[in-house]
Amino acid sequence: MSDNTVELTDVSFSYAGAPARSRALDGVSLEIKRGEFVALMGRTGCGKTTLLLTLNGVIPKTIGGAFAGQVRVFGEDVAGRSVAQMSERVAFVFQDANDQLFCETAREEIAFGLRLRGASENEISKRVSESLGRVGLRGFEERDPFSLSQGQKQKLCLATAIASGAPLVALDEPIASLDYENAKHVYEILSALKRSGKTIVAVEHDAEFAAKHTDRVIVIEDGAIAEDGGASLLKSKRVERYGIKRLK
C-alpha cells in the first residue's frame, strides 16, 4: 500500500472561459507522504489555490474547466468520489473565514459536517469541546461566528477541520488576514496537528512561517512546479525569482 497521502499525475487544468493557451495547472506531478507538512508557495495567480482545490475534487467537479490527469488521495482516485464524500478524507479551510461560516453558533458550525455523517449528539459534543479547546476557543460554543474577530473566525474554521477527523487538512492562506500573534498561534496549532499524524498542505506567502513549521516547500510558477525542496529552499537566492522573500 502506498505511503503517499496525495499523488498527482500529470494534472493540467484551465478554467472555463479562460484563453485557449492559458493553463492554471500545467502537467503537475507530485507526491505528498503521510504526515508531511507542505507549503505551496509562489506568485499570486500561479496556480497554488487551483492545485489545492483538486485535492477534494472541487476542481473540476464544482469549478468547471478543462481537466486532465489524475489525483489520488489515500490511494483513491478523486474523480471517482463526490466532493461531499471527499470531505471525510480532506478537511478544507478556505482563505476567507467569512466564506465558510454559515451557522448561528460555533457549536453548530462544527456540528454541521458531523451531523451529515450521522454522528451522535454525544460524539458531536465531545468533538466540539475538544476542537475548540485545541484552537484556544474554549467557552465559545454559543457565540455567533459573525461576531468573532477575524483571528477567532479562522481558528473556528480550523476547529471545524480538526473536529471532522479528516486525515488530510488543506488550507488556503490560513494566516492571510491575521496579525502576527494570531498567525503564530494558527501555525502552532497546525504543527500540533502534524505531530498527531495529519498530513497538511497549505498555500502560504509568508516565508518565515513556512520555513519554521513546514517540512517541505513546493514553489509553483505558471501552473507548474518550479522548485521542490525542504524548508531550507527558502534561504536560496533562487526563490526570489518566484516572488518569494528569501530568508537570511
Grid coordinates given for 131 = 476542537
Residue 165, by phi and psi: left (phi above 0), alpha (psi -120 to 50) or beta? left
How many residues bind other proteins (CB under 8 A)? The answer is 30
Nearer Cβ to other proteins (24/207): 24
Residue type, 31: E
Nearer Cβ to other proteins (160/199): 160
The contact mask relative to other proteins for 124-163 (x = CB under 8 A, - = no) is --------------------x-xx------------x---
Alpha-carbon distance 168 to 32, whole Å?
10
Nearer Cβ to other proteins (58/186): 58
Give the one residue of 24, 58, 71, 183 binding other proteins; rule: CB under 8 A: 58
The contact mask relative to other proteins for 89-108 (x = CB under 8 A, - = no) is -x-x-x-x--xx-xxx---x
Nearer Cβ to other proteins (112/242): 112
Give the one residue of 2, 117, 121, 235 binding other proteins; rule: CB under 8 A: 117
Is the Cα dihedral 159, 190, 202, 79 positive or negative?
negative
Give the one residue of 9, 34, 88, 215 binding other proteins; rule: CB under 8 A: 88
- Point out which residues pair with 91 in neighbouring strands: 169
Binders of other proteins among residues 33 to 52 (CB under 8 A) are none
Nearest to 51 by CA among 88, 80, 17, 25: 25
Q: Write b or e for each residue in 211-243: b if 16 or more Cβ atoms lie within 10 A of its Cβ, otherwise e.
A: bebbebbbbbbbbbbbbeeebebbeeeebeebe
Nearer Cβ to other proteins (67/94): 94
Instruction: Say how many CA atoms lie within 13 Å of 191 toward its Cβ.
Output: 13
Q: Which residues bind other proteins (CB under 8 A)?
A: 56, 58, 62-63, 82-88, 90, 92, 94, 96, 99-100, 102-104, 108, 112-113, 116-117, 144, 146-147, 160, 164
